[in-house]
A = this chain, B = another copy of it.
């Protein structure tokens, strides 16, 4: 990931993703980060201006495509004559699954994403809300059309629980460990299947 044929900026972003996932944003120091990326300590401030801005760029590098994929899939589903709840959920979950299978750091980034949920960093939340908040809004509208029996408050509760559970599950936060014989791909695909089935049942309940 940090091979010499990558540019300095790319090596910094790769090392940042890895260390943010492992140690959190405050817990990852620029000294360890620049040593991992094999660049000078001052390179972060030279190329990104500050550590805070580096955090933003780590998210932008992945979320632009993740959000585009989710919205594109959602539009495909909503264009169908009779979209199902499972299809809408899949539009949300499947791009995250693909990202977690990405060969160059995608799985790591999903863990960084979970960090962002957990840390109530106001500055980061504002950045994410301003740049990617519209995606969640569109999914909320799609779910609402599928579940007219739920009032707005009830619907928000359930979507909220799903978003938290999805983040938790995709980041492999829990205790479960795949058997060594099971490939990472199958492991994650089963996770997504379980989550979709689980979430759809929970959304339809009552």
Whether the pair B160, A175 counts as a contact (CB closer than 8 A) is yes
- Proximity string of chain A (105-130) to chain B, C-beta cutoff 8 Å, 1 when within and 0 when not: 00000000011011110000000000
Judge whether A26 is part of the interface by a CB distance below 8 angstroms: yes
A191 within 8 A of B: yes
Q: A173, B117: Cβ atoms under 8 Å?
A: yes
- Whether A202 lies near B198 (C-beta < 8 A) is yes
A158 and B198 in contact, given A26-B24, A26-B26, A26-B27 (Cβ under 8 angstroms): yes
Residue count of chain A within 8 Å CB distance of chain B: 43
Task: Find chain B residues with CB under 8 A from A176 CB.
Answer: 153, 156-157, 160
> Which residues from B are CB-within-8-Å of A117?
118, 168, 173
Q: Does A161 contact B (CB under 8 A)?
A: yes
CB of B118 within 8 A of CB of A195, answer no
Q: Mark A168-206, 1 if CB is under 8 A from B, else 0.
A: 110001111000000000000011001101111111111
Q: List 8 A-B contacts (CB under 8 A).
A: A24-B119, A156-B175, A160-B169, A160-B174, A161-B198, A164-B168, A197-B206, A198-B202
